[in-house]
Structure 1
């Protein structure tokens, strides 16, 4: 089973969006989510990759525990939410979200593919990202999902 590293920027259940600044090598507060809105899972990036938006590829880490900003987690990829993100009236860019499970997870140990999460779970995560972007004046459009095998190929394509 192939694993990847994920660096956590914003832990699950936080209202704070942190972003890693490569120049200073520090995590900086980027913004706060609106009252009542929190990250459903740990959110971070896959080091050594770059997406169409110029940032490292985004990763959502599904786990029974919450980690912390700056944590490096060894994870296995279970799929991706394919998406386009951009400002209204401008051409958007691909900004997929890769779904990962930390190595050693007990609760999610049997999940091998994104489809095992169920349609309602997908829909709730999609709605989170749609609303998360809307608050920032951006449009987030879901294009469907990719299974684990396809997602790993997509990550390799984004590797530097």
Structure 2
């Protein structure tokens, strides 16, 4: 799969969640995470896509760098969590999470599939999403972990 441009909403290390507002054509502060909770990597979306929640597909960019809201990064998709979220109202929707590595990364230059990432990092990412969504009263459940090829098919 050829590289995909990812738009970063929330930088690595931030305890502020930003969202792109297409009507205003800028980034808005959406929420502040609890003390001690931060995004483990840059978090953003794939422009021109739409997930089960109606928003563009979510992507965690696994990298040694931290960028800024609005930064565009050319990345290779390495895998995904097929996931669902159940809200306070009991409604369940698909809300998959994709994982990518920047083409310019030095530390992760040999990572081409989610299986190339340590299981500890994968577990931490799953726990991050569970804890992050729990703050909004939502339950996040990973249905399946898929590699680069399957994730690419999900996007297209």
Quickly name the TM-score band, shorter chain normalised. Answer: over 0.9
Q: Distance in 2 between matches of 1:139 and 1:19?
A: 20
Distance 2:87 2:34 in 1: 19
1:117 aligns with 2:117: yes
TM-score (norm 2): 0.97
Quote the Cα distance in structure 2 between the aligned partners of 1:3 and 1:86: 32
> What are structure 2's unaligned runs of at least 5 residues?
none
| Segment drifting more, 101-110 vs 116-125 | 116-125
Separation (CA, whole Å) in 2 of partners of 1:86 and 1:71? 30
CA drift at 1:119:
1.9
* Unaligned 5+ runs, structure 1: none
Q: Per the alignment, in what secondary structure is the counterpart of residue 44 of structure 1?
A: strand
| Aligned-residue offset at 1:86 | 2.4
Aligned length: 156
In structure 2, what is the equivalent of residue 129 of structure 1?
129
Mapping for residues 2-151 of structure 1, pairs under 5 Å: 2-88=2-88, 90-151=90-151
SS state at 1:75 partner: strand
Deviation string for 1:43-92 (max 9, x for gaps)?
00000000011000000001111110100111000000111012145231
Task: Find the residue that maps to 1:77 and give its secondary structure.
Answer: strand
Deviates more, 1:81-90 or 1:133-142: 81-90
